[in-house]
Chain A
């Protein structure tokens, strides 16, 4: 009963490198989300996918791309990492778009040097 699984847990990148953060949920949820958490700023939505095959921009999408590979998996890609993307990234899922119960992964701590 894993819930929402994110990999990796920690990553250090150099400026300009690329990487993909992976997220998978086993709850048969339709909607999936990527957030970033910065000190004193709460969580900000990067991208979301209301259902399989659809993706939409959130509040801070610049510098990121996403793929809803199938119903279970939603990945976040940084094509050319920048120090401003140093953050903690959280994936979340919910059954439908009504967010009365979001389930969160444990996060990925990303540092861009």
Chain B
């Protein structure tokens, strides 16, 4: 079945760039997603990329997609303490349901 994998933890210094990586298995996914979960809250859609794109930029966020390697990354430029959260990547299965990774906890040190 479909599987999405992420590293569990990333720590960066405030002002540095953060790169969160994800690998997925379902090559037929039309979209791939990044969600953000702040402490005590539900998930919020951060950004998504259509599968025929290689890159999408949205202010401080850059999403890179390597379809050949089934690798997705999220780069956050000028990381701030408010970016500390858990970040989930997700793909869509054949029934249009989201399959989430286990989440990467990003800690931003002052």
Cβ-based interface call for A101 (8 A): yes
Q: Mark A84-111, 1 if CB is under 8 A from B, else 0.
A: 0000001010000111111011110000
Cβ-based interface call for A113 (8 A): no
Chain B minimum-CB-distance residue to A48: B97
Main SS class of interface, B: strand
Q: Which of B51-110 contact A (CB under 8 A)?
A: 88, 92, 96-98, 100-103
B98: A residues at CB distance < 8 A: 43, 45, 99, 102
Q: Which of A11-70 contact B (CB under 8 A)?
A: 40-45, 48, 58
Contact A104 B43 (CB under 8 A): yes
Contact B96 A99 (CB under 8 A): yes
CA A78 to CA B48, docked complex, whole Å: 34
Report which of A40, A90, A100 forms a contact with B31, defined as CB distance below 8 A.
A100
Chain A, interface size: which category? 20 to 34
Cβ-based interface call for A76 (8 A): no
Contact B45 A101 (CB under 8 A): yes
A101: B residues at CB distance < 8 A: 45
Residues in chain B within 8 A of chain A (CB atoms): 4, 8, 31, 33, 40-45, 48, 88, 92, 96-98, 100-103
Closest 10 pairs (CB-CB, A-B): A104-B42, A42-B100, A42-B102, A97-B96, A43-B100, A104-B43, A99-B98, A106-B42, A105-B42, A42-B101
Residues in chain A within 8 A of chain B (CB atoms): 4, 40-45, 48, 58, 90, 92, 97-102, 104-107
